[in-house]
Amino acid sequence: MTVALWPLSGAWAQWQWVDEGGRTVYSDRPPPISVPERNILRQPRGAAPTVPVSPATAPDATEATTPAPPNANAPELAIDPELQRKMEAEDKAHQEEEAAVQARNQQIKALNCANARRALAQLEPGRRVSTINEKGETGFMDDASRARERESAQAVVRENCE
């Protein structure tokens, strides 16, 4: 079983620490600066120890909130041609799939229309319509049940036969 889970080991949390409330926290991100070094129980291999940023080395608060001016000499971002071809191919495949679904829906709608019209023709007044009840016995439809079935078939015709 360990062998089966081995490929997923990189997805497991790599950091473990105890927060202010005394709870053990597991995460794939390092703990906040407010967590003291002694509360960090485990960290990924090769990770630098967390060093709190002192106010002397911290960037000015105004510098951090001021957006950098756009560089007038910077070239406009160009889309990678291979990525663009890939995106266009995906869009085309999506459109073709959607067209196939719509065509299939039209076929189903046409089939439903034909079946509903056939049912309406069978339910015309003056014709005896036989049915099979729950016990498997053959009986004939009375006028009330014929009217309900006819109304149902007409609703299907209205929905599918446009």
pLDDT per residue as tens digits for the range 20-30: 889 999 888 89
Cα Rg for the chain, rounded, in angstroms?
Answer: 35
Total Cβ atoms within 10 A of residue 123 = 20
What pLDDT, on a 0 to 100 scale, did the predictor assign at position 104? 94
Extents of the domains making up the chain:
12-46, 85-160
* Three-class DSSP category at 62: helix
User: Quick check: 99 pLDDT over 60?
Assistant: yes
Query: pLDDT band at 49, cuts 50/70/90?
Result: low
> Is there a contact between 7 and 31 (Cβ–Cβ < 8 Å)?
no
Per-residue pLDDT averaged across 27-39, rounded?
Answer: 90
pTM over 0.85: no
